[in-house]
A and B are shown apart, each in its own frame.
Chain A
Amino acid sequence: AQSVTQLDSHVSVSEGTPVLLRCNYSSSYSPSLFWYVQHPNKGLQLLLKYTSAATLVKGINGFEAEFKKSETSFHLTKPSAHMSDAAEYFCVVTVNTGGFKTIFGAGTRLFVKA
């Protein structure tokens, strides 16, 4: 069975400090991995994606994530948080099990303090 675990439901950082949002996955198939961001009352926007190319993936707004197969992780990082980064972040896995199946993590709420 496939699953996605976001290890923190809430993360709080100060503006200008690094951000780390953790994601672990479990899959019997080769996955594609994604991070999405959601601002209040909005749809989800793609931040970045891993689809079996380079393991270090750069996304929008200074975010990046590293696919570590040995650790089954895909953590999202940013060197310096900005107030506008405060939002909910979702780690998502897609696998091909004969049809495509998409699994969402439960989300991590990022708070950024001035």
Chain B
Amino acid sequence: DGGITQSPKYLFRKEGQNVTLSCEQNLNHDAMYWYRQDPGQGLRLIYYSQIVNDFQKGDIAEGYSVSREKKESFPLTVTSAQKNPTAFYLCATHRGYTEAFFGQGTRLTVV
């Protein structure tokens, strides 16, 4: 089955801790994206990558970091610099002018 796998589904972070969210795809798409979703605010772009070993900041990149060492993988690290990380995180791929494909999301909660 082709698709996007995000893990874990639920993640809890302590204050001052870095955590990494996984996103893997087997759709052979070049472009991958990370979005943050907060209640009533739609989706906001954190980072995106159009090609391996290259990535760009989105609208709300502060406190986050990414890597793109393989086409299939685009992990997102939520660092301790992100002051309000509790949110639903969605990973997506895109193939040019066609639709985006989304993973099932990771819900991150600060405890």
Contacts and interface: CB of A to CB of B under 8 A. Distances in A.
Q: Give the bracket for the number of chain A residues in contact with chain B.
A: 20 to 34
Identify whether the interface residues of B are mostly helix, strand, loop, or mixed.
strand
Interface string B68-105: 00000000000000000000101010101111101111
Nearest to A32: B97
A42 B99 CA distance: 17
Contact of B102 (A9, A43, A99, A105): A43
Interface in B5-58: 6, 31, 33, 35, 40-43, 50
B42 A41 contact: no
Interface of A: 9, 32, 34, 36, 41-46, 49, 51, 90, 92, 94, 96, 99-100, 102, 104-107
7 contacts: A42-B105, A44-B92, A46-B100, A49-B99, A90-B43, A102-B94, A107-B42
